Amino acid sequence: MGKAKAKEIKVKSNLTFFQKVKRHKTLLLMCTPAVLFFLAFSYAPMPGIWVAFVKYNYRDGIFGSKFIGLDNFKFLVTSGKLFDLTRNTILYNLAFILLGNFLAVFVAILLNEMRCRWFKKVSQTIIFLPYFISQVLVGILVFNLLNYDTGFVNGILTSLGFERWQPYASASAWPVLMVVIYLWQQTGYNSVVYFAAIMGIDSETIEAAKVDGANGFQKIRYIILPSLKPTIVILLLFALGGIVKGNFGLFYNIVGTNPMLYSTTDIIETYVYRATMTDFNFSTASAVGLYQSVIGFVIVMTVNWVVKKIEPDYSLF
Amino acid sequence: MAKKQDKDLMESGAKVRLGTSDKIIRGFGYVFITFYALCCIIPFIIIISTSFTSESVIRAQGVQIIPKEFTLTAYQMVTKSGGIWKSYILTILMTVIGTAVGLSIIAMTGYALQRKDFSFRNQISFFIYFTSLFQAGLAPYYLLMTQYYHLKDNYLAVLLPLLMSPWLIILMKNFVKAIPHEITESGKIDGAGDMKIFTALILPMLKPALATIGLFLALGYWNEWYQSSLFLSSRVEVKPLQFTLYEIVNKTEALKNSVAGQFISLADIPQESVKMANAVLATGPIVLLYPFVQKYFVSGITVGAVKG
């Protein structure tokens, strides 16, 4: 095997670039549409990052507008905007990642203990359902439950003699609400991976434990959780790699353009979207976007380096 | 792995009390999972129920789990203008075309990049993968699409960007990896070209992968509202279903928040029941289809989980 590989490498290195192209022209052609796609939609916008360093106006375009260096960034830093957005984005993501994985493991373990087949199947299907709907519908569902006039929750509150609750006018309620909504939508999806990992545990190990007299709690504590540990660690690490990337669809469809809630719900993505689409302030939007991309890039690289140290098979590159 | 478990198990010293703890876990499990599943399904039931309730009842009593007076008025209002059927046709067309084109490209690319003898596989893989590590951001993307590609108010602005993603290509690569390399080799020995090997030998073995990735693509197209919100203005008459829904919601918000709100009669604000009827119509097909395709998603998530 090793010899064959060495030989192959040697043969390869003897070919010139054009010989390689000629030899693999069909395979290259097969990749061409995808390469063009990423060139057109992912690489082509990159020179446009320049807009973050100019005072953009329509007439002169991205590259003709006046260069102002780091002024766009300066404004964002001194106004404290960048700090607020980063804090909101990171804190929400931390809560999403930690609670999300905890609940997913919890649900997967409980599902695995169920013996009634139809119950297992039906409940799994239902728990997975919220993942399949559009974020627009999630926004509508939440509004339907929580709005002041006709909301389901307020219907229950008034019928029990309590005062009406007005979450759409109070920013303080949303950190908890957002986390609950996120868990509601994503746990079914997240638990699938853990459920599959539990199914992959050698059934002989579990049988042997039973023979040795391990009870249900011990089985979970000493067999299932330890075998899930690598999966949990890897998934947590990769999730942390995306910690500065916000869940735009979720936040925008729930909060929309309701300024009363911005103090606790404005994340990097929602700010960039409004700056681009409502204010047409492309320079500020791009400055925030570039800041996010650079920080995100550094974090992913770090995470990948850590993963490579502990579990080289799972590293991204 | 297995050794470590055995060790942990030995350390536990396993005290025997078989039965009770299993019963506790199981009992708790049934209660918890039932409660959780109810939380997942009740919002859907409320939406369906609201869509069948008359507006006056909603205003007076709020939304309910079971409609007090059953009525089809909201559905009649939604379907009256016929606009929703046009949205349906547009969404179905986009979903079918986008999924077919995207899937073909993803399959070809996934196979080529998994070929061990392909000299450029690492470079191209990195070229694609890098786009998920670093993005230009929304503002440059928006300017490029509108001012250089001139795709404002063009359906292509919605169709094209959803064709593929690095994650889906990696997922395809992981599926292809499971096919033994000998199959490609045997094709070569028989004198087949790379394209012939791909279509005649590899594609038939990729059916589960095609189903899984095709469903992810289709779901993306069906639920699409984001690209539409960026690029489709009011000049476009027919819009994708979810974006239509998005606009109805935003219209309600805008009217309620506007300074002139006091001069607008209630009749101009889209009614709750109509909003819900729209939501049911836009989401219905996917919810009905979903139990049948669930297993493909599950396989996709488990194959693509880690290297996603």
Structural domain includes residue B55: yes
- The residues in B 132-161 lying below 8 A from A, measured between CB atoms, are 133-144, 147-148, 160-161
- The residues in B 230-249 lying below 8 A from A, measured between CB atoms, are 230, 242-243, 245-246, 249
pLDDT at B95 over 70: yes
Q: Work out the mean pLDDT of chain A and round it to a whole number.
A: 87
Share of chain B above pLDDT 90, in %: 45
Looking at the structure, tell me whether residues B61 and B206 fall in a common domain.
no
User: For the residues of A146-187, what is the DSSP string, one character each?
Assistant: H-TTT-HHHHHHHHTTPPP--GGG-GGGHHHHHHHHHHHHHH
Enumerate residues 6+ apart whose C-beta is below 8 A from B248. Answer: B270, B274, B275, B278
A212 and B14 in contact by Cβ < 8 A?
yes
Looking at the structure, tell me whether residues B166 and B255 fall in a common domain.
yes
Looking at the structure, tell me whether residues B211 and B258 fall in a common domain.
yes
pLDDT at B9 over 80: no
Cβ contacts (< 8 Å) between B44 and chain A: which residues? 129, 141
Structural domain includes residue B8: no
- Are A215 and B17 a contacting pair, CB within 8 Å? yes
pLDDT at B93 over 70: yes
Rounded CA gap, B294 and B298, in Å?
6
Q: What is the CATH class of A83-314? A: mainly alpha
Q: Which of B113, B230, B306 sits opposite A31 (nearest CB)?
A: B113
DSSP state of A312: G
Structural domain includes residue B6: no
Whole-number pLDDT of residue A2: 45
Domain ranges (residues) in chain A: 83-314
3-state secondary structure B84-117: HHHHHHHHHHHHHHHHHHHHHHHHHHHHHHHCCC
- Are B128 and B106 a contacting pair, CB within 8 Å? no
Structural domain includes residue B297: yes
Whole-number pLDDT of residue B208: 87
Structural domain includes residue B291: yes
Looking at the structure, tell me whether residues B85 and B27 fall in a common domain.
no
Whole-number pLDDT of residue B172: 92
Please name every residue paired with A55 in a beta bridge, in sequence order, or none if there are none: A66
> What CATH number has the domain bearing residue B234?
1.10.3720.10
> b or e along A135-171 (b: 16 or more beta carbons within 10 Å of the residue's beta carbon)?
bbbbbbbbbbbbbeebbbbbbeeeeeeeeebebbeeb
**How many domains does chain B contain in total?**
2
**pLDDT band at A20, cuts 50/70/90?**
confident
B21 and A216 in contact by Cβ < 8 A?
yes
B298 and A192 in contact by Cβ < 8 A?
yes
Q: Distance, in angstroms, between B185 CA and closest chain A CA?
A: 15
Q: Which of A151-160, A205-214, B10-19, B49-58 has the lowest mean pLDDT?
A: B10-19
At B52-89, the pLDDT tens digits run: 888 878 877 777 788 777 888 888 888 887 788 999 99
pLDDT at A197 over 50: yes
Contact with chain A for residue B176, Cβ under 8 A: no
Candidates A8, A13, A27, A181, partner chain B, best to mutate (most B CBs within 10 A): A27
Hey, what are A31's tokens? 């990749």
Instruction: Determine the angle formed by the axes of helices A25-38 and B83-114, rounding to 10 degrees.
Output: 140
Contact with chain A for residue B17, Cβ under 8 A: yes
B6 and A205 in contact by Cβ < 8 A?
yes
Q: Which of A38, A113, A227 sits opposite B128 (nearest CB)?
A: A38
Q: Which of A20, A51, A227 sits opposite B1 (nearest CB)?
A: A227
Q: Which of A84-93, A152-161, B176-185, B290-299 has the lowest mean pLDDT?
A: B290-299
The chain B residue lying nearest A111, using CA atoms, is: B29
Contact with chain A for residue B195, Cβ under 8 A: yes
**pLDDT band at B273, cuts 50/70/90?**
confident
The chain B residue lying nearest A44, using CA atoms, is: B144
Residue B296, domain extent: 81-304
Rounded CA gap, B259 and B263, in Å?
9
Looking at the structure, tell me whether residues B66 and B133 fall in a common domain.
no
**pLDDT band at B257, cuts 50/70/90?**
low
- Are B240 and B90 a contacting pair, CB within 8 Å? yes
Q: Distance, in angstroms, between B244 CA and closest chain A CA?
A: 10
At A270-299, the pLDDT tens digits run: 999 999 998 899 999 999 999 999 999 999
pTM: 0.88
Instruction: Determine the angle formed by the axes of helices B166-177 and B83-114, rounding to 10 degrees.
Output: 50
A37 and B163 in contact by Cβ < 8 A?
yes
Whole-number pLDDT of residue A107: 94
Looking at the structure, tell me whether residues B232 and B278 fall in a common domain.
yes
Cβ contacts (< 8 Å) between A235 and chain B: which residues? 305-306
**pLDDT band at B111, cuts 50/70/90?**
very high
Whole-number pLDDT of residue B255: 64
Question: Where is pLDDT greater, at B224 or A209?
Answer: B224
Contact with chain A for residue B105, Cβ under 8 A: yes
Instruction: Identify the domain boundary among B71, B102, B136.
Output: B71
Give the mean model confidence (pLDDT) for residues B9-14.
44
Instruction: Identify the domain boundary among B71, B104, B135.
Output: B71
Looking at the structure, tell me whether residues B192 and B286 fall in a common domain.
yes
Looking at the structure, tell me whether residues B136 and B64 fall in a common domain.
no
Q: Distance, in angstroms, between B78 CA and closest chain A CA?
A: 17
Structural domain includes residue B76: no
**pLDDT band at B162, cuts 50/70/90?**
very high
Whole-number pLDDT of residue B17: 45
Share of chain A above pLDDT 70, in %: 95
Looking at the structure, tell me whether residues B42 and B94 fall in a common domain.
no
Q: What is the CA radius of gyration of chain B?
A: 26
Give the mean model confidence (pLDDT) for residues B126-136.
92
